[in-house]
């Protein structure tokens, strides 16, 4: 009976150690997965930015200098309303008809309901301050956009270069004219 009891005790101890080993968790695991992240262009982002209504996969104002006035559209592609603040420096915001707006900041705030889902602001217009640079040069500055909504915060900064047109057309230019040949010029008519 002593052997049976010892065998039973040994069997119980052995099986309990096997059970204890099986119940332990693991401390780490590795998994290899292919993940592809493709950023979208400004036109398809949560705060869509398109220049002159043209949709492309690039960044707003990418490429060379623009000629004033520069226009772009802003659209809310989020599921919530946004309060949007647009700041330009050293440029000036203009109304669509080209009149200057006082200041360098434009706000669509929550007091007016903000910019709702799917809504857009067409033809945000940026112009050059009148005394900023001599004609024929360029001005480079920043267009900063800050949009906030329920648990949403979007910030975008885009560099803009504007080619300033030459406004010195009222100045006199020296023009040299010459006459050659043997026939004299005359304004008198022959009778």
Quote the CA–CA distance of 73 and 52 in Å, as a whole number: 7
CB atoms near residue 125 (< 10 Å): 19
Q: What is the dihedral angle through the alpha carbons of 98, 101, 103, 107, rounded to the nearest 10 degrees?
A: -110
- The b-or-e profile of 7-37 (16+ CB within 10 A means b, else e) is eeeeeeeeeeeeeeeeeeeeeeeeeeeeeee
Look up the pTM and report it.
0.62
pLDDT for res 8: 74
Quote the CA–CA distance of 51 and 44 in Å, as a whole number: 13
List the one residue out of 64, 58, 81, 43 whose CA is nearest residue 140.
Answer: 64
C-alpha distances in Å from residue 29, one per residue of 25, 26, 32, 110? 11, 8, 10, 47
pLDDT for res 128: 84
pLDDT for res 143: 92
Quote the CA–CA distance of 47 and 120 in Å, as a whole number: 10
pLDDT for res 137: 84
Which tokens is 75 given?
């659209």
CATH number of the 42-164 domain:
2.60.40.2550
pLDDT for res 159: 93
pLDDT in tens, the chain (191 residues): 667 877 777 777 766 665 555 455 556 667 677 666 566 777 878 888 888 766 666 888 888 899 888 999 889 999 989 998 889 988 888 866 555 566 678 787 756 678 899 998 888 888 887 776 666 788 999 999 999 988 889 999 999 999 987 766 544 333 333 333 333 433 343 44
pLDDT for res 141: 92
What are the structural domain ranges in the chain? 42-164
**Which residues does 148 contact at the CB level (< 8 Å), separation at least 6?**
82, 83, 154
């Amino acid at each position: 009976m002593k052997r049976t009891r010892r065998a039973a005790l040994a069997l119980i101890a052995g099986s309990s150690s096997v059970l204890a080993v099986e119940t332990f968790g693991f401390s780490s695991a590795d998994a290899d997965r292919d993940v592809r992240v493709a950023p979208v262009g400004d036109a398809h982002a949560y705060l869509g930015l398109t220049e002159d209504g043209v949709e492309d996969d690039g960044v707003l104002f990418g490429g060379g200098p623009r000629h004033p006035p520069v226009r772009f559209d802003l659209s809310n592609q989020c599921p919530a309303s946004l309060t949007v603040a647009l700041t330009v420096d050293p440029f000036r915001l203009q109304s669509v008809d080209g009149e200057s707006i006082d200041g360098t900041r434009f706000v669509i705030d929550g007091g007016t309901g903000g910019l709702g889902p799917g809504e857009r602001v067409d033809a945000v217009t940026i112009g050059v301050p009148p005394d900023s640079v001599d004609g024929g040069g360029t001005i480079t500055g920043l267009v900063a956009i800050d949009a906030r909504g329920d648990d949403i915060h979007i910030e975008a900064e885009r560099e803009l270069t504007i080619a300033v047109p030459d406004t010195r057309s009222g100045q006199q230019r020296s023009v040299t004219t010459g006459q050659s040949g043997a026939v004299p010029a005359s304004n008198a008519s022959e009778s």
